[in-house]
Structure 1
Amino acid sequence: MKYDKIPKEYLLEASSALGALRKKLRWKSGKDIQHLEKRKAMGHLPGHSLLEDYNTLIYELIEDDDNIVYLYEFGVKRYYAVRGKVHKVDWIVIFSKDGIMETAFPPRGIDDYIEKRGFKLVGKIREVLER
C-alpha cells in the first residue's frame, strides 16, 4: 500500500480520535437517530434495526485493526474515515478529529467515493494506533 504524506500532528490526531471512538461512540445531539433512520430508509440496514445495531456495526469496523484509515479534509475541517467490510459489504465510518461520529454507510462504488472526495490514505488502524 502506498501511503499519502500526512503531517505527524494529523497522525496523532487520527490516533486520538480513533482511541476515543473505541472507548465510546459519541454522536452530535440527535444525529445518531437521524443517521439510523436514513440507513434504514436507504436499505443499508433492516427496517427493524435499533441504534444499538447500528453502533455495533460501527464498532465492528473501528475495532478491526486491518481496516484502513483515511484523512478527509472538507474546507478547513479535518475528518477521519475508516473503511472496512461488514457481511461482505464495504462500509465507511466518518468521524471528526475530536472523535465525534459524523456518519457510517456503505457507499456505492467506494473507490470512486474516496477518490472524488480527495480522501488521503493514512494506513491500517493498527499502524495509526501505534504512532
Structure 2
Amino acid sequence: MGTWNPEEFKRTIRQVIDKMLDFNDEFIYDENGELVDVIVQVAFSWDEEKGEEHLRKRIEMGHLEKGTSMDKYNEIIEQLLAQEMALVSIHPNSFNKFVVGSRKFVDGKDWIVMFDNEGVIKTAYPPGDFDSYFTDSYHFLCYVDDLPSS
C-alpha cells in the first residue's frame, strides 16, 4: 500500500473521473447529410466486461427496475460521477480503488460506484450501509466538487 497523501489522491481521482466522463459520441448521418442517430460511447469500461452480470444482479435484487438496459445502468454511473455533492473515498485495502457515492440518488436510494485508477468500474449499487463507505476504515477525501481541476 502506498503513502497516504490526500492531495495527490484528489488529483488522481479527478483525472480518472474526467477520463471516465470523456464521451466519444458517434454521429450517424444519412446520404443527404442529415443527422439520423447519435451513439453515445462512454469512456469507462467494466471489470472484465462484467457489466451485464452486475446489471442482472441489480435487477434481481430490486435495485433497478426489470427491463433496465445496460445503457441506463451506465447513465446512472455517469450521473453519479458528475454529481458535485457526491462523496469520494479511497478503498481501505488498496489505494488504487475509489468509491463515489450520493444519497437519495436513484428512486430515493443511496448509490455508490467503485472503480480503479484506470477508470474500470468494479461495481455500482445501493449499499445497505452507505455511511460505512465514507467513514470507518475507508479514507474519506472530499466531495466531487472539491476535487482539483485536471
- Which of the five TM-score ranges fits, normalised by the shorter chain? 0.7 to 0.9
Match of 1:127 in 2: 146
Matched to 1:42, the amino acid is M
Match of 1:87 in 2: 107
* Length-normalised TM-score, structure 1: 0.84
Matched to 1:10, the amino acid is F
Matched, 1:98 2:118: yes
Pairs aligned (count): 125
Q: What RMSD, in angstroms, separates the aligned Cα atoms of the two structures?
A: 1.9
Matched, 1:62 2:81: yes
Which structure 1 residue ranges, 4+ long, deviate > 4 Å from structure 2?
A: none
Per-residue deviation, 1:27: 1.3
Deviation per CA, 1:96-124: give whole Å up to 9, x if none. 011111110001121135445x2111111
Per-residue deviation, 1:69: 0.9
Matched to 2:130, the amino acid is I
Do the aligned partners of 2:134 and 2:140 also contact (CA within 8 Å) in 1? no
Do the aligned partners of 1:61 and 1:86 also contact (CA within 8 Å) in 2? no
Identity %: 25
Larger radius of gyration: 2
Counterpart CA distance in 2 for 1:91 and 1:6 is: 26
Do the aligned partners of 1:71 and 1:120 also contact (CA within 8 Å) in 2? yes
Structure 2 residue matching 1:130: 3-state secondary structure: coil
Structure 1 gap ranges (5+): none
Match of 1:19 in 2: 18
Counterpart CA distance in 2 for 1:130 and 1:101 is: 22
Match of 2:58 in 1: 39
More helix by share: 1
Counterpart CA distance in 1 for 2:76 and 2:14 is: 20
Structure 2 residue matching 1:101: 3-state secondary structure: strand
Per-residue deviation, 1:42: 1.0
